[in-house]
């Protein structure tokens, strides 16, 4: 295969990798077709040699054609430089207007750059610095050229200035002691009050139970992002329609204040609807989201019709005003999606964007449905606030830790409302690795790094603010994606035919730190997988915790002793992409992957390799006197949690499935519904009996025993 050097130069200028080092430590070259597809998704013509040549020239001239950069992102306490372009010789004044209303003068630096001719005119470059003492926040840079008499001219420009904290201080508050919490999939944990699916009421009760009865400091849940507005709904919480708004499936209907004011007959029907799920709550075979959501929606629409008190109406109005255009666009998409299938051609024509004339006309016709979907988000917001309040009232230092998915569905609410901020013709995933030897495709469009900058990172900021609003912490799934993402062109033969695209990690991590600081939340980055060595160091410098999974912490010499784990870290034995520990010890994941055709090696070789790796970890527990050769599975699981308790990690995570003895995996990567019921497994114990919240409330109910991890502490 031959490669065009000019094409590769162009790709590199746009942050597109032309080669990469894989999990096998080998250097892999990226094909020309992949590079062209990725560049096309960035609106960079690269189909012919002449297009490539013109695009390279544009890379040089584009910054000189604009007075200010699209956005400037800096760090508090450090001067941040930025370039200003004006007609050569024209004086320019730069003012920083802070979000607090203060005017700050930027300092011009003595930096000479030769002027250059751009589109027939000579353009000069001046370099300015944002003062180091500008406070963290979202500000504006304003530029204007001046005439010889000092009067402003008609040439003005402005851009967003984001000053981020040098370090997230919330992580420093965890230095005093080691804390532990429960890792769970909320939909899988039911109570007698659930409608077949765990809900926000269950979340508050679960936090109360683990905080007050078991002494936990947090409960980490799956992403709660919204799915489709009506059944059938996507089962995977990691494939939402939007990451900014919340899934109404989790609403506890009876906890809505207006539900108590339903007419007597309708109130009775609500109770009857809830009663029909009593048997489902006790079943351990499969979660039926569609049945639960369909029943909830029928009742929610009746509750929505109940007249709200003046104070409640004001609260709803305030919520809509605060969430602004983002909520309106999401609710509009929901109203349209109720009437138009995903394949309806109007999504590409009349309804191609929230700003189309046809959509605006539909907003008038569908105003009632738009209000209903806005109201659902208000109820979600209230019930999430109540769950976090319950967690803190139960003594949890952190409370509810939310999970941020990597991306969203093609054709979903975000893909529709955010437009060119997301790349078309691309999905994100992961290259082949030891765990997923065929690579992964996640069927999600990625952020376009260039458009994010043009938009001043507003869509990213707005998403973070909503997710963090009632959070004590935030887990960022695949935080490596804020550094680089694996882009796979649509139609590629396999995920291996992709490449990495680089993001401005200083901007993305900085904004994450800024919004988390304002919310008072800790941030945990899921930094597993293939990454550059600087990633973990950079995250630690910014106060972002990493993630360690006992089975994955290995180097060339074997498993890394937990005493050598990172301090700024959440450490657990397992993750939702592996079976619960009891199932993992039995090698059930190998048998499952073999049945599904996901192994690259033969079954016996895979079993032998896996057994050797597991045994090397178990040996560490035995060497420390935490386990014995003839220990039962239950005692081995306990010993592994005792083992991670020897680490210096600030946070320890106990998987709820391990606490109750579950064997079944929640998600088998690389499979669909026809192969495995991903994200539909309800919580059950070692005997296969469904486990409810009422069981967890008993102080003695534990397969592993919370004391296994809490009694150890760092060695």
DSSP letter at 684 equals: B
Q: Tell whether 94 and 58 lie within a shared domain.
A: no
Q: Tell whether 81 and 141 lie within a shared domain.
A: yes
Q: Which of 112, 133, 164 is the last residue of a domain?
A: 164
Helix 505-519 to helix 458-468 angle, to the nearest 10 degrees?
30
What pLDDT does residue 266 have? 96
Q: Tell whether 33 and 109 lie within a shared domain.
A: no
Please report the sign of the dihedral spanned by the C-alpha atoms of residue 599, residue 603, residue 607, residue 613: negative
Is residue 257 situated within a structural domain? no
Q: Tell whether 47 and 90 lie within a shared domain.
A: no
b/e map of 384-422 (b: 16 or more CB within 10 Å)?
bebbbebbeebebbbbbbbbbbbbbbbebbbbbbbbebb
Is residue 250 situated within a structural domain? no
Is residue 9 situated within a structural domain? yes
**Antiparallel, parallel or unpaired: β 399-404 and 473-476:** parallel
Place of tokens 């000069």: 124
Q: Tell whether 158 and 88 lie within a shared domain.
A: yes
Place of tokens 């001067």: 79
Is residue 87 situated within a structural domain? yes
The separation between CA 703 and the C-alpha centre of its own chain, rounded to angstroms, equals 31
Is residue 89 situated within a structural domain? yes
Q: Tell whether 112 and 146 lie within a shared domain.
A: yes
Structural domain count, the chain: 2
Is residue 707 situated within a structural domain? no
Is residue 54 situated within a structural domain? yes
Q: Which of 142, 164, 186 is the last residue of a domain?
A: 164
DSSP H or E run through 8: helix 5-13
Mark the ranges of the chain whose per-residue pLDDT is less than 50. Answer: 1-3, 705, 713-715
Domain with residue 85: its CATH number is 2.60.40.10
Burial class of residue 538 (count of CB atoms within 10 Å of its CB; 0-12, 13-18, 19+): middle
Q: Tell whether 119 and 160 lie within a shared domain.
A: yes
Q: Tell whether 56 and 113 lie within a shared domain.
A: no
b/e map of 442-460 (b: 16 or more CB within 10 Å)?
bbbbbbbbbbbbebbbebb
DSSP letter at 259 equals: G
List all residues 6 or more positions away from 175 whose beta carbon is below 8 Å from its beta carbon.
650
Q: Tell whether 91 and 33 lie within a shared domain.
A: no
DSSP for 617-674?
A: HHHHHHHTTS--TT--HHHHHHHHHHHHTTS--SEEEEEHHHHHT--S-S--TT--TT
What domain range is 32 assigned to?
A: 5-62
b/e map of 356-375 (b: 16 or more CB within 10 Å)?
eeebeebbeebeebbebbbb
pLDDT digits (tens, 9 = 90+) for 102-154: 999 999 999 999 999 999 999 999 999 999 999 999 999 999 987 655 555 56
Please, are residues 703 and 660 in contact by the beta-carbon 8 Å criterion? Answer: yes
CA distance 8 to 20: 13
**Antiparallel, parallel or unpaired: β 103-105 and 558-559:** unpaired
CA distance 300 to 269: 12
Is residue 151 situated within a structural domain? yes
List all residues 6 or more positions away from 161 whose beta carbon is below 8 Å from its beta carbon.
71, 72, 73, 74, 96, 130, 134, 138, 139, 140, 141
Q: Tell whether 131 and 56 lie within a shared domain.
A: no
pLDDT digits (tens, 9 = 90+) for 445-472: 999 999 999 999 999 999 999 999 999 9
What pLDDT does residue 605 have? 84
The torsion of the CA quartet 144, 146, 151, 155, rounded to 10 degrees, works out to -50
Q: Which of 39, 62, 85 is the last residue of a domain?
A: 62
Please, are residues 426 and 41 in contact by the beta-carbon 8 Å criterion? Answer: yes
DSSP for 546-572?
A: EEEEGGG-EETTEEPPGGGS-SSEEEE
What pLDDT does residue 704 have? 54
């Amino acid at each position: 295969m031959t490669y065009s050097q000019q094409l590769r130069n162009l790709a590199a200028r746009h942050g597109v990798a032309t080669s990469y080092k894989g999990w096998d430590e080998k250097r892999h070259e990226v094909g020309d077709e992949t590079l062209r597809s990725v560049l096309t998704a960035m609106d960079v013509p690269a189909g012919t040699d002449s297009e490539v040549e013109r695009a390279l020239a544009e890379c040089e001239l584009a910054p000189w054609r604009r007075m200010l950069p699209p956005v400037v992102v800096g760090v508090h306490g450090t001067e941040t430089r930025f370039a200003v372009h004006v007609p050569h010789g024209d004086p320019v004044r730069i003012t920083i207007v802070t979000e607090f209303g203060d005017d700050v003068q930027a300092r011009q630096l003595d930096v000479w750059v030769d002027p250059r001719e751009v589109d027939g005119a000579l353009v000069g470059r001046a370099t300015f610095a944002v003062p180091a003492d500008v406070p963290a926040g979202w500000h504006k840079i304003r530029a204007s050229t001046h005439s010889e008499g000092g009067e402003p001219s008609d040439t003005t420009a402005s851009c967003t200035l984001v000053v981020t904290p040098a370090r997230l201080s919330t992580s420093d508050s965890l230095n005093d002691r080691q804390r532990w919490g429960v890792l769970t999939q909320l939909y899988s944990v039911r109570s007698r009050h659930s409608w077949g699916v765990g809900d926000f009421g269950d979340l508050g009760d679960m936090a109360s139970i683990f905080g007050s009865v078991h002494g936990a400091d947090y409960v980490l849940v799956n992403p709660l992002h919204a799915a489709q507005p009506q059944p059938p709904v996507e089962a995977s919480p990691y494939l939402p329609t939007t990451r900014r708004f919340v899934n109404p499936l989790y609403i506890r209907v009876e906890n809505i204040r207006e539900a108590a004011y339903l007419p007597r007959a309708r109130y009775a029907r609500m109770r009857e609807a809830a009663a029909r799920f009593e048997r489902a709550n006790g079943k351990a075979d499969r979660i039926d989201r569609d049945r639960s959501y369909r029943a909830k929606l029928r009742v929610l629409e009746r509750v929505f019709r109940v007249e709200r008190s003046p104070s409640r109406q004001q609260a709803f109005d305030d919520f809509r005003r605060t969430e602004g255009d983002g909520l309106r666009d999401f609710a509009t998409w929901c109203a349209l999606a109720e009437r138009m299938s995903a394949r309806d051609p109007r999504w590409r024509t009349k309804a191609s964007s929230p700003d189309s004339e046809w959509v605006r006309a539909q907003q008038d016709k569908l105003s009632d449905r738009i209000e209903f979907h806005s109201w659902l988000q208000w109820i979600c917001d209230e019930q999430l606030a109540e769950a976090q309040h319950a967690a803190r009232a139960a003594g949890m230092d952190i409370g509810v830790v939310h999970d941020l998915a990597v991306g969203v569905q093609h054709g979903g609410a975000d893909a529709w409302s955010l437009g060119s901020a997301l790349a078309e013709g691309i999905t994100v995933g992961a290259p082949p690795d030891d765990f997923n030897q065929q690579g992964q495709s996640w069927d999600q469009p990625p952020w376009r790094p260039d458009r994010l900058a043009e938009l001043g990172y507003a869509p990213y900021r707005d998403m973070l603010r909503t997710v963090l609003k009632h959070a004590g912490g935030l887990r960022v799934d695949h935080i490596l994606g804020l550094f680089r993402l694996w882009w796979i062109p649509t139609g590629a033969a396999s995920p291996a035919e992709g490449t990495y695209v680089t993001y401005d990690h200083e901007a993305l991590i900085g904004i994450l730190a800024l919004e988390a600081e304002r919310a008072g939340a800790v941030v945990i980055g899921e930094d597993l997988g293939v990454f550059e060595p600087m990633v973990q160091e950079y995250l630690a410098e910014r106060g972002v915790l990493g993630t360690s999974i006992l089975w994955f912490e290995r180097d060339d010499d074997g498993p890394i002793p937990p005493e050598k784990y990172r301090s700024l870290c959440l450490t657990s034995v397992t993750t939702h992409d592996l079976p619960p520990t009891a199932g993992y010890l039995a090698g059930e994941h190998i048998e499952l992957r073999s049945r599904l055709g996901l192994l690259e090696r033969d079954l016996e070789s895979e079993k032998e390799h896996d057994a050797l790796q597991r045994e090397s970890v178990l040996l560490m527990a035995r060497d420390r006197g935490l386990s014995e050769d003839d220990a039962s599975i239950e005692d081995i699981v306990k010993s592994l949690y005792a083992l991670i308790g020897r680490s210096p990690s600030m946070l320890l995570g106990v998987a709820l499935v391990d606490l109750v003895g579950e064997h079944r995996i929640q998600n088998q990567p690389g499979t669909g519904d026809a192969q495995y019921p991903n994200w539909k497994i309800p919580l059950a114990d070692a005997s296969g009996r469904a486990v409810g919240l009422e069981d967890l409330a008993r102080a003695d109910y534990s397969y592993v025993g919370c004391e296994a991890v809490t009694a150890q502490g760092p060695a």
